[in-house]
Amino acid sequence: MRTYDIERYLNIRSAYGASFSADGERLSFLMDTTGVPQVWTVDSPGAWPEQRTFYEERVTFASWSPERPEAAFGMDRGGNERAQLFRLEPDTGVIENLTEHPDAKHRWGGWSHDGERFAFTSNRRDNAVFDVYVQARDGTGTDAELVHEGDGWLTVGGWSPDDSKLIVQEAYSNFDQDVSVLDLATGELTHLTPHQGTVRFQSPEWGPDGENVYMVTDRGSDTLELVRYELASGEFTTVETGGDHELEGISIDHDSRRLVYSRNVEGYTELTFGELTTSDRIDALPQPDLPNGVAGGVSFSPDGERAAVTVTASADTANVYVVELATGDAERWTLAATAGIPRDTFVPPELVRYPTFDGRDIPAFFTLPEESPEGETPVIVDIHGGPESQRRPSFSAVKQYFLSRGYAYFEPNVRGSAGYGKAYGHLDDVEKRMDSVADIEAAVEWLHDHPAVDPDKVVAMGGSYGGFMVLAALTEYPDLWAAGVDIVGIANFVTFLENTGDWRRELREAEYGSLEADREFLESISPINNVEKIRAPLFVLHGENDPRVPVSEAHQLVEEAREHAHVRELIFDDEGHGFSKLENRIEAYSQIADFLDEYVRNAPTADD
């Protein structure tokens, strides 16, 4: 089998985040051809795209105006997540900074229907909270009007059909949100979702008549369902259920009454397009002919006859497809390159379930390389972050690279992961944190029984919260691991919560426990306080500008762990929470590959 170096794999491109132009003739999308995502446009399927932004920093989104040949986009600097908003005129190349507050975060809230204004939330008044702003399309900086002062993590969910109101969503944790409606004329904020305990209210959308708000919620079930909230009566009505699976979100085109909602089936996306014929009735349109994988980022054409969708699969990189809604026919509009690596060399996973300590079955994706000698195959256990996230069958160039080098790949969705209902998501809260680490031990025991696996060559790798899981697995079960790779991970929950961004602390305490009430417990489970148990070689990577998990987490861990095990450290001074720049990703994963080859793949086994 022909092999390619990591640089080739990391030059595999992704195209995603599409938006239709006001005339419906062009799509904007993000693509990382230059090494970081930039704005591109294309005017027909497979046509040569045109690059519209030319920065060394990543662009985070792009959204066409509904009325003019212009688009808004967001961009931060050095991974600091303090995104600024910009207006782009693709035909002239003119770009204007709309926000001009580089020390504040700005979260896009959408164009008004007439294209004259846009909404956003920002923490420019107080670093710890987000306020709601409305700004004229040609305004800049201080021209933004503060329309609501918040006291938490606010986002704008969209403009009402007559542009008189905004949906405002407040998040307390990933499993607990509220939805309100803000009247722009009076400033009155109407709370739609009072509740006790933790309840998800997500993906709120205005109905076409402005009299209803649609959203997905688990207010009456374990899984997310699609509901309608009638503003006049204050009553909820269930519109669609996903059965045993979650309905993840909804998007509605007001003029055509066309909509789409998605169902998460073991990580795979099932999209349903339809038409809202009455407030509670959806007449389904033909099933879209899309690849089986993970789909999202839907944008309707101005006439509502087509929809642009981003689709990725484990064995195929992300691309934008356009669906003809009347027939379900889909055509790929972007051709994100695979760096000359044949697509048929990418290996899809097997969906498996393995038993854990309390009798539950834990879902996971397991991928074997093309050649898997019996009892000789090393395995990377790649643990997702969040923790309220989900490993899904989307494309990973890093995974395909390691598969090509003979490593198997195991991706568990341990308790606490999203996508499997409310009860499963809460199984790792606060004092139950280490139960999820025990699920990792059970994963390794399952791998030990697999005929292809070398039980002495199992690696723990993960980023962010997944980095904590790596460190916790190495300290709790030190004899199971040949090596560990911690990317922007949490080493000490106390110092993490003390030093993380002010806007994130309350959100994270809802999941991990609070400094005030749970400090002793947080200290007890922090890997930094158990670092003497680490025996496996450890590689720690971090970004100097990380606003979520401060780089101090890496420094203190490395200093302590070096007294007990072999430890490497790699810090990028122009990155934040993860690595977005191509040259940095190449360096990071080249060094990870060399590290794993030295201590795992080429290391002698117990029988040698």
Q: For residue 111, list its beta bridge partners.
A: 118
Q: Alpha-carbon distance 154 to 132, whole Å?
A: 8
Model confidence at 3, pLDDT cuts 50, 70, 90, reads confident
Strands lying side by side in the sheet with 153-159: 153-159, 165-173, 176-183, 189-191
- The one-letter code for the residue type at 542 is H
Task: Using a pLDDT cut of 90, give the percent of the chain over it.
Answer: 86
Q: Are 342 and 351 in contact (CB under 8 A)?
A: no
Helix (H, G, I), strand (E, B) or coil at 506: helix
Among 302, 282, 292, smallest CA distance to 330 is for: 292
Phi, psi of 584, deg, nearest 5: -75, -40
Helix (H, G, I), strand (E, B) or coil at 1: coil
Confidence check: pLDDT of 432 > 60: yes
Model confidence at 606, pLDDT cuts 50, 70, 90, reads low
Residue ranges of E strands in 160-234: 165-173, 176-183, 189-191, 201-206, 212-217, 225-230
Q: What is the pLDDT of residue 502?
A: 66
Mean pLDDT confidence for 40-65: 96
**Per the structure block, which two tokens stand in for 496?**
């993490």
Q: How many CA atoms within 13 Å lie on the side-chain side of 451?
A: 2
SS (HEC) of 45-108: CCCCCEECCCCCCCEEEEEECCCCCCEEEEECCCCCCCCEEEEEECCCCEEEECCCCCCCCEEE
Model confidence at 337, pLDDT cuts 50, 70, 90, reads very high
| pTM to 2 decimal places | 0.92
Q: Alpha-carbon distance 36 to 59, whole Å?
A: 8
In Å, what is the CA distance from 177 to each residue of 132, 172, 257, 433, 441? 17, 6, 26, 22, 32
Instruction: Report the interhelical angle of 465-476 vs 433-448 (nearest 10°).
Output: 70
Provide the 8-state DSSP code for 605.
-
Residues 29-49: pLDDT tens digits?
A: 999 999 899 999 999 998 999
> Minimum mean pLDDT among 74-78, 303-307, 512-516, 527-531: which range?
512-516
Provide the 8-state DSSP code for 533.
G
Q: For residue 308, list its beta bridge partners.
A: 299, 322
Phi, psi of 38, deg, nearest 5: -130, 170
Q: Tell me the pairing of strands 316-324 and 306-313.
A: antiparallel
Residues 278-316: pLDDT tens digits?
A: 999 999 999 999 999 999 999 999 999 999 999 999 999
Instruction: Report the interhelical angle of 582-596 vs 397-404 (nearest 10°).
Output: 30
Q: Are 285 and 276 in contact (CB under 8 A)?
A: no
Quick one: CA torsion of 149, 152, 153, 158, rounded to 10 degrees? -40
Q: Are 576 and 81 in contact (CB under 8 A)?
A: yes
Confidence check: pLDDT of 605 > 80: no
Q: What is the helix (H) or strand (E) element at residue 124, kind and residue range? A: none
Confidence check: pLDDT of 607 > 80: no
Phi, psi of 130, deg, nearest 5: -115, 135
Model confidence at 80, pLDDT cuts 50, 70, 90, reads confident
Mean pLDDT confidence for 53-70: 96
Helix (H, G, I), strand (E, B) or coil at 600: helix
Among 569, 550, 570, smallest CA distance to 559 is for: 569
How many Cβ atoms sit within 10 Å of the Cβ of residue 606? 7
Task: Using a pLDDT cut of 70, give the percent of the chain over it.
Answer: 99
Tell how far CA 556 is from the center of its chain: 27
How many Cβ atoms sit within 10 Å of the Cβ of residue 87? 20
Max CA-CA distance within the chain? 77
